[in-house]
Amino acid sequence: MKKFLPLFFVLAAFLLATSSATGQTKETRNVKNFTKVSYGISGELILRIGPEYSLTIEGDRDDIEEIITNVSGDRLTIRRDNWRMSFRDQDNRVTIYLTMPEVESVGVSGSGRLNIMDPVEADDLDLSLSGSGRLTTSAVSADDLHCGISGSGGIILGKSSIDEATISISGSGSFSGEEADIDRLEVSISGSGNARFGEVDELNAHVSGSGNVTYTGSPRVNARVSGSGHVRSR
């Protein structure tokens, strides 16, 4: 038993030295001609709206090498290289800075955090979240907004103006839209999810399970609830 101890300490020292040697760095990648983003790692993505496309990854060198960025059609996909073996929780130490002129669709899968820092203007906007992550917008102006949440994650909608919105929650996820003005809203919750809204003119809500829909104002409400959930004014 004792003869294995020196080997163990040598290996531990080697792994520590290798980890420390990588250091923090930045890498810029050439991406362009997309309006949709799929984000699938557990780090943080900071998205800005600007005239030029740009993408910079900040983190350990080895961590950055394991991140794949690929544009196919009009969609940018950011994910891990599944063929590379890693024993480190590298994603949480990675921050990605992305700038694009126009946003039509943003999706987060896993435990990642995606923050849209600038106002988004769109005819149709799709926001989706699968897993325990978080998607935050500063402001949205859209004719049609579609949001889908599955899992325990949350979407936070900043100060926004929406003509028509469709929100779907499956699981224990949450949608926060207290600062948004929505003309026509359709909400569907299956499970224990929660959806909170500000001013709404017309609300159609379907809750199955223990989920809750809350709103302000005095909209026209058509509600169907099966289970212990609620649709009510705050």
Residue with tokens 């350990």: 60
Confidence label for 93 from pLDDT (cuts 50, 70 and 90) = confident
92 or 59: which leads in pLDDT: 59
- Here the tokens at position 220 are 């026209």
Q: In this structure, are residues 23 and 61 in contact, taking their beta carbons and an 8 Å threshold?
A: yes
Domains in the chain (CATH in brackets) are: 25-84+91-111 (2.160.20.120), 119-233 (2.160.20.120)
How many angstroms separate the Cα of 169 from the Cα of each of 2, 157, 200?
Answer: 56, 15, 18
Q: Which residue has the higher pLDDT, 2 or 50?
A: 50
b/e per residue, 132-157, with b = 16+ CB within 10 A? Answer: bbbbbbbbbebeebbbbbbbbbbbbb
Q: Would you say 115 and 97 are in contact if contact means Cβ atoms under 8 Å apart?
A: no
The tokens of 117 are what? Answer: 């820092």
Distance (Å, whole) CA 199 – CA 214: 11
- For 105-122, the pLDDT digits (tens) are 999 999 999 999 999 999
The answer, yes or no, to whether residue 91 has pLDDT greater than 70, is no
- Range with lowest mean pLDDT among 89-93, 135-139, 171-175: 89-93
Residue 127 has pLDDT above 60, yes or no: yes
The pLDDT, as a whole number, for residue 234 is: 86
Ordered DSSP codes for 192-234: S-EEEEEEEEEEEEEEEES-EEEEES--EEEEEEESS-EEEE-
Nearest to 148 by CA among 208, 190, 112, 99: 190
More confident residue, 88 or 179: 179
Cβ pair 203, 220 in contact under 8 A? yes
Strand partners, 167: 147, 187
Q: Which residues pair with 209 in a beta bridge?
A: 191
Identify whether the C-beta of residue 100 lies closer than 8 Å to the C-beta of residue 50.
yes
What does the pLDDT look like over 34-46, one tens digit per residue? 999 999 999 999 9
The answer on pLDDT for 86 being more than 70 is no
- Angstrom distance (rounded) from CA 165 to CA 187: 8
Residue 21 has pLDDT above 50, yes or no: no
| pLDDT value for 16 | 52
- State the alpha helices, DSSP H only, in the chain: 4-22, 61-65
Looking at residues 82-88, what average pLDDT do you find?
55
Q: Please report, as a single letter, which amino acid is at residue 15.
A: L
- Among 214, 215, 222, 212, which residue's Cα sits nearest to residue 200? 215
Averaged pLDDT for residues 164-180:
98
